[in-house]
């Protein structure tokens, strides 16, 4: 298990997750929602997070970060030689989700949506 109490590791995690959301070409408002930040968070604050990673790591943020990174890894395994296709998967309407993008599912449903996406990618069925 990674020790996120180490300040350098924590900064790296925050920076990596913010950069991932930018790689997926999500706008500032979408990034704020996915990161669980206050709605008043501005783009320049996201820039600082991407550059410096200074953000307190509470349980909610850690859970979001871990799910987003798991989604990235799963999508990258679908498109191992095409990073652009992997990024587009997140923002392209998906028949499995009734033509809603995986990004929109995550934004609208929060942590539940992120879990729904990773379960889909991992091939887990929601039998409950």
What does pLDDT average to over the chain?
88
Which residue range is the domain that position 28 belongs to? 7-121
Nearest Cα neighbor of 18 from 124, 10, 119, 118 is 10
Q: Write down the pTM of the prediction.
A: 0.88
Nearest to 89 by CA among 78, 124, 80: 78
For residue 1, tell me if it sits in a domain: no
Say if 62 falls within a structural domain: yes
Whether the CA torsion 56, 3, 13, 30 is positive or negative: it is: negative
Would you list the DSSP string of 66-110? Answer: HHHHHHHHHHHHHSTT-HHHHHHHHHS-BGGGTTB-HHHHHHHHH
How confident is the model over 44-70, as pLDDT tens digits? 888 887 777 776 678 898 899 999 999
Whether 12 maps to a domain, the answer reads yes
pLDDT tens digits for range 72-91: 999 999 999 999 999 999 99
pLDDT band at 1 (very low <50, low <70, confident <90, very high): low
């Amino acid at each position: 298990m990674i020790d996120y109490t180490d300040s350098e590791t924590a900064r790296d995690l925050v920076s990596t997750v913010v950069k991932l959301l930018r790689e997926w070409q999500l706008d500032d408002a979408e990034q704020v929602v996915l990161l669980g930040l206050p709605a008043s968070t501005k783009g320049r604050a996201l820039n600082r997070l991407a550059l410096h990673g200074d953000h307190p790591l509470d349980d909610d943020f850690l859970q979001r970060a871990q799910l987003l990174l798991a989604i990235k890894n799963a999508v990258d395994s679908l498109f191992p030689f095409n990073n652009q296709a992997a990024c587009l998967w997140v923002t392209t309407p998906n028949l499995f989700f009734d033509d809603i993008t995986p990004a929109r599912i995550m934004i609208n449903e929060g942590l539940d949506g992120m879990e729904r996406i990773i379960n889909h990618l991992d091939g887990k069925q929601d039998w409950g």
